Amino acid sequence: QKTNQSCTLIATELEKHIADAHVLITTPFHPAYVSADRIRRGKNLELLLTAGIGSDHIELPAAAAAGLTVAEVTGSNTVSVAEDQLMRILVLMRNFLPGHHQAISGEWDLAGIAHRAYDLEGKTVGTVGAGRIGKLLLQRLKPFGCNLLYHDRLRVDAALEEELGAAFEEDLDAMLPKCDVVVLNMPLTEKTKGMFNKEKIAKMKKGVIIVNNARGAIMDTQAVADACKSGHIAGYGGDVWYPQPAPKEHPWRYMPNNAMTPHISGTTIDGQVSRTTQQAPSLASRYAPLANR
């Protein structure tokens, strides 16, 4: 109910002011979807600023057609997200959540946890996307003694590849069957929307762990829920959903072995400070020249 109230409040305030606004600042966490209709009604709009990374909640072709600048705070919370991904990998690999549930519910059933708990050492971890967050994750995984793979449109330079200790996989479909853990680190675009469907998931190892802090809509929602139910996916964790806020009946809330949360991986206090301190200069650089005229 709290979520519904705050959604309604955001929508009402946005509708009230959109006709006057020159700058619209939105976040990917609790997005005000910037539709073509809202862009049309925002007659004074000049800048759509995403306070975070990932502007897929904005209808980009409509923004471009209206001549608007769309900007985001690149790099602002990348450490927060990479650390969170590492946490979710460990939480799922070690089967931590049922153990915690036992602790708070008065149970003591070691076998009930241990039968599906593994070490991360020696496992193959592949990231789909090795941009800012993907590279930070690979750096953090290196000391765990994993076999590290990455797939991206672009290969990182040889020196960095060696430093990361990760092997490039040009063909995603060739990488997926090798991975015990798959982490998504690419943007939601027309190309990646629904990319991880039933067929793609079937190419992965039975018992794979998937961590997706990139965007919910990169996955086929029902295919993920079905594969968790069948056990093909042994664990699915992340903080991104489609749509957001996720409705109560969203199947990922109820699928087995999930380590889902609301969209919080980039909103640590450090991530928030970094986002806001980088956002102000972004606004200032656009408007200071006008103000000084």
Ligand X SMILES: NC(=O)C1=CN([C@@H]2O[C@H](COP(=O)(O)OP(=O)(O)OC[C@H]3O[C@@H](n4cnc5c(N)ncnc54)[C@H](O)[C@@H]3O)[C@@H](O)[C@H]2O)C=CC1
Please tell me whether residue 132 binds ligand X under the rule CB under 6 A: yes
Q: Which of 57, 88, 151, 215 is catalytic?
A: 215
What minimum distance in Å lies between the beta carbon of 50 and ligand X?
10
What would you measure as the largest C-alpha separation in the chain, in angstroms?
72
Residue 279 binds ligand X, judged by CB under 6 A: no
Residue 84 CB, shortest distance to ligand X, in Å, is 8
Q: Is the dihedral of CA 163, 139, 118, 194 positive or negative?
A: negative
Task: Give me the DSSP letters along 66-120.
Answer: TT-EEEE-TTTTHHHHHHHHHHHHHHHHTTHHHHHHHHHHT---HHHHHTT---S
Among 53, 73, 259, 260, binds ligand X (CB under 6 A): 53
Residue choice 209, 240, 246, 259 for contact with ligand X (CB under 6 A): 240
Q: Does 220 help bind ligand X (rule: CB under 6 A)?
A: no
Select which of 57, 77, 151, 250 is catalytic.
77
**Helix H or strand E segment including 181:** strand 181-184
Q: Does 129 bind ligand X (CB under 6 A)?
A: yes
Pick between residue 18 and residue 211 the one whose CB is nearest to ligand X: 211
Give bridge partners of residue 87 from the DSSP assignment. Answer: none
Determine if 149 is a binding residue for ligand X (CB under 6 A): no
CB 165 within 8 Å of CB 141: no
Is 244 known to be catalytic?
yes
The SS3 call for residue 121 is coil
95 included as an active-site residue? no
Record the tokens describing residue 65, joined without a space: 């057609």
Q: Cβ(202)–Cβ(177) under 8 Å?
A: no
Interface segment toward ligand X; rule CB under 6 A; list 93-101, 129-137, 138-146, 227-235: 129-137
For this structure, is 263 an active site residue? yes
244 binds ligand X (CB under 6 A): no
Closest CA to 219 of 265, 255, 248: 255
Give catalytic status of residue 77 as yes or no. Answer: yes
Q: In the bound complex, what is the minimum distance in angstroms from residue 166's beta carbon to ligand X?
A: 13
- Work out whether 86 is an interface residue with ligand X (CB under 6 A): no
Q: What is the C-alpha to C-alpha distance for residues 33 and 70, in angstroms, rounded to an integer?
A: 14
| Residue ranges in contact with ligand X by CB under 6 A | 52-54, 77-78, 81, 129-134, 152-154, 185-188, 191-192, 213-215, 239-240, 263, 265-266
Active-site annotation, residues: 77, 215, 244, 263
